[in-house]
Amino acid sequence: MPIALSDEILKLLAPAAAGFYPEQETAILRLLGGQSTLCLMPTGRGKSLIFQYCACHLNKSVVVLSPLRALMSQQNQELAAKGLSSSAPHAIADYRQYYNTLRSYVHQGLPKFLYVSPERAVADGMLEYVLSQRRDDIGLIVVDEAHCISQWGETFRPMYRMIPRFLNGVFGQGNWPAVLCLTATLNPQDQQEIRSQFGIPKDGVIRSTELRRTNLTLHFEPALADQAAKETRLEEILRAHEGEKIIVYAHLVGNVESGTRALATKFADRGFCCDYFDGQAAEDHKEHVLEDFVSGKTPIVFATSAFGMGIHIPDIRVAVHYLIPESVEQYYQEVGRAGRDGLPSFAYLLYTNTNLKIRRYLLSRSVPSEGELDRMVSAVFSDTSSTFDPYSDTSENSPESTVFTALVQRGVLELVGKGPDTLRSFACNVPDETWSKYSKATRTGAIDLIARRLKTTPQAIATDLFGGYVAGTYNLAASPRKVLFYKHAATFQSKRAEIVEEFERVRAKRSQSVEEFVGAISEANPEARILELLGI
């Protein structure tokens, strides 16, 4: 019997919508039928409505894996304003309150929408334990900004590639609910990788027929003479669009001439109301900048590629690229953040030949070299080590996480648990045999050492601790440090050549992508060539 879509649910979620776009309806019907789906839709086309509708129709919870705290917070607030239960636990700063919130999910049920970052999903043992206890309440998994899985660039998040292991931990292998992967543009090779990782059949790729943004005028300017000329041209653009919301994609952070912060300082000194947004900024700064940009208080933001990703800001009028993007996909995703309301908008590409050299240099360092790989394995993942903290590496490209993911995927390391690194994060409220056994195993409380001495696994110990906390037998004594436990399953040397080859393949692919983009903007009709490369 065909599934009938409810107008009442649609009016609740999108009051102004006259109906569903064809690709929305197709994706919704697939997901309600339990079929995993990869959906390619331009920004502003309503990707979020797909999973929001499914959650309401199924009357089950949806876990949304999303890369940005600000994006999760915004969607969480919008859903709550509609009277729907939604939670973004990352926003809870106090660790006791955070653990209490997770415990409440076991006793009281999950919210309709639960927003989680890939890093937290992969590293937070308590979260995985709680979700496993309520697995039957979860009707859909959403992987937002799914291009982060395959595009090893500025937006690459290594932990995205570990999401399938997280799903296995919660549901068991082969028992996942339907998975929805969402992004704006993705080339066929990257589509195949995502389909393979999440079990999406070829006919499960839903592609919008209207990927082209006809309200967006693209300007490709010839290479400027030098940095001074580029700054002058940028100032002309900013003054021509005074009072409008503008994103300037600098793509660099620490560069003293053209990094996000340097440019924000320079143009603030020239009288512009502007700020910066990048991965190294404090979370409260990023949230403050986003709020002021949405309200129009700060209309100009100098940013890296993460800014604007997935966030509903319909009235951005201008997107400026101040450095050559790394691919046609990145370029079109970023310019697509302008003009989501359908009104006339503009994109400008400004660069010098020196900028192109900078982009090529960044590409050469996008993944660890052989020497860096060897040094990192020796220093961080040596034979004597058994834990990894994904939060310890705060750099933009996360080289430690990149290497860790490669070692796991190649079988050098085998994950054997996730949880706190020490028993001392908890305290026992009442006499308890399990606690007594663990506390007597070692004075240090190190869980990996307890596991070796008692011939068990760190995961078994972590599960006992989480279960005892949920039951009220244990309470928190200190903020638990989230770590991944592993053992060495093969020698690094036996897999080294494969990992080096993989990194070189990634580096070559990224180099090809940027040269492809440079070739496109050098043609007589660069927009037509870019659309051709995107298959639009």
Residue 69's CATH number: 3.40.50.300
**522: in domain:** no
Q: What is the pLDDT of residues 308-367, one digit of tens each?
A: 666 678 899 999 999 888 888 889 888 988 998 889 999 999 988 888 888 888 777 778
Cβ-proximal residues to 350 (8 Å cutoff; 6+ apart), any chain: 221, 224, 230, 233, 234, 320, 321, 322
Whole domain around residue 416: which residue ranges?
Answer: 370-494
Same domain, 296 and 224: yes
In a domain, 340, yes or no: yes
Do 236 and 314 fall into the same domain? yes
Query: Within this chain, do residues 356 and 393 fall inside the same structural domain, yes or no?
Result: no
Both 234 and 283 in one domain: the answer is yes
Give the chain's domain count: 3
Both 162 and 283 in one domain: the answer is: no
Residue 63 maps to a domain:
yes
Task: Indicate whether 352 and 422 sit together in one domain.
Answer: no
- Asked, for residue 167, whether it belongs to a domain, the answer is yes
pTM above 0.85, yes or no: yes
Q: Is the separation of the CB atoms in 466 and 112 below 8 Å? A: no
Is residue 294 assigned to a domain?
A: yes
- Please indicate, yes or no, whether residues 182 and 93 belong to a single structural domain of this protein: yes
Asked which of 305, 339, 362 is the last residue of a domain, the reply is: 362
Residue 378 lies in a domain: yes
**Is the same domain home to 358 and 381?**
no
- Does the residue 499 lie in any domain? no
Which of these three, 330, 362, 394, is where a domain ends? 362
Same domain, 226 and 203: no
Does residue 354 sit within a domain? yes
Say whether both 352 and 450 belong to one domain.
no
> In tens digits, what is the pLDDT along the chain, a chain of 536 residues?
457 778 888 888 888 777 888 899 999 999 999 999 999 987 767 888 999 999 999 999 999 998 877 778 888 888 888 999 999 998 888 999 999 999 999 999 999 999 999 989 999 999 999 999 999 999 999 999 888 776 555 555 788 889 999 999 999 999 999 999 998 878 888 889 899 999 999 999 998 877 677 899 999 988 898 999 999 999 999 999 999 999 999 988 877 788 899 999 999 999 999 999 987 888 889 889 988 999 999 999 999 887 766 667 889 999 999 988 888 888 988 898 899 888 999 999 998 888 888 888 877 777 889 999 999 999 999 888 899 988 765 554 568 888 999 999 999 999 999 999 999 999 998 889 999 999 999 999 999 999 999 999 999 999 999 999 999 999 999 999 989 999 999 999 999 999 999 999 888 888 888 899 999 999 989 999 988 888 77
453 and 403 belong to one structural domain:
yes
- The answer to whether the CB of 140 falls within 8 A of the CB of 112 is no
Question: What does the buried/exposed string (b/e) look like for 30-57 if buried means 16 or more CB atoms within 10 Å of the residue's CB?
Answer: bbbeebbbbbbbbbbbbbbbbbbbbbbb
Same domain, 346 and 385: no
Tens of pLDDT along 399-440? Answer: 888 899 999 999 999 999 999 999 999 999 888 999 999 999
As a whole number of angstroms, the distance between CA 174 and CA 273 comes to 52
